[in-house]
Structure 1
Amino acid sequence: MSKDELSLYTIIESIDTILLYSRSSQNADDFYHDRKSFDACMIHFINIGEMIDRLSPAFRTDHQNIPWQEIKDFRNLVAHNYFGIDAEEIWDIIENHLPVLKINIQSLL
């Protein structure tokens, strides 16, 4: 398995974990107040960004349909501005963007 493939599998694993940990919440407020799940999900968002950073530049260039830089930027926001995170924004990402990202990553494997 290549380094890029390993990173992609790890991204999928983190997406699955975020979706699992957030599924008991009904909305952003519920999710934010479930501190253990919220905090655990934030770590997995950071992990996704770290795995993207491990993808080869050529791989990212060959697959520009995925917003690699935007995802990495979000990782930096979570890691460096943790207490300024907007729960509504996180909830929107979980509900609307992660499932699509998972499908797109799976199509690369």
Structure 2
Amino acid sequence: MQDIVEAITRIRRYTATHTLASFSSDDMAIDAVVRNLEVIGEAARHVDDATMQRLAGVPWREMRDLRNLLVHEYFGVSVPIIWETIVRDLPPVLALLLVDLER
């Protein structure tokens, strides 16, 4: 789970000054975010069942599925969907994981 927290933290740092428009034109930021989303999905594959049940609010399957999409369909990936993931989906995941790690 620490790997997921670190990857989300990096994504937030890489995108902190961006809007969707500026992110869409920053190939380096897109590449960095995609790489960290892949790390998140790969790390999610290694989370044990007890942790997944304890943190049922974390979209474990979706994180794994996104990793597979990014790895296998890289050129078909939608930047606006990645942006939505960054701004809408990652903050609550980070919050849940941080609370759990503090226990």
Superposed pair shares fold, TM > 0.5: yes
Q: Is the 8 A contact 2:11 2:86 kept in 1?
A: yes
Task: Give 5+ residue unaligned stretches, structure 2.
Answer: none
- Structure 1 equivalent of residue 67 of structure 2: 75
Where 1:77 maps in the other structure, the secondary structure is: helix
Q: Percent identity among equivalent residues?
A: 30
Task: Give 5+ residue unaligned stretches, structure 1.
Answer: 1-7
Matched, 1:13 2:9: no
Q: Distance in 2 between matches of 1:13 and 1:25?
A: 19
Q: Distance in 1 between matches of 2:51 and 2:5?
A: 17
Q: Deviations over 1:29-64 (max 9, x none)?
A: 321221111101100000001111111123213322
Q: Give 4+ residue runs of structure 1 displaced > 2 Å after superposition.
A: none
Q: Deviations over 1:37-95 (max 9, x none)?
A: 11011000000011111111232133222111111101111111111111111111111
Q: Distance in 2 between matches of 1:57 and 1:86?
A: 31
Q: Distance in 2 between matches of 1:100 and 1:58?
A: 20
Q: Shift in Å at residue 12 of structure 1?
A: 0.7
Q: CA RMSD in A?
A: 1.2
Q: What TM-score comes out, normalization by structure 1 length? A: 0.85
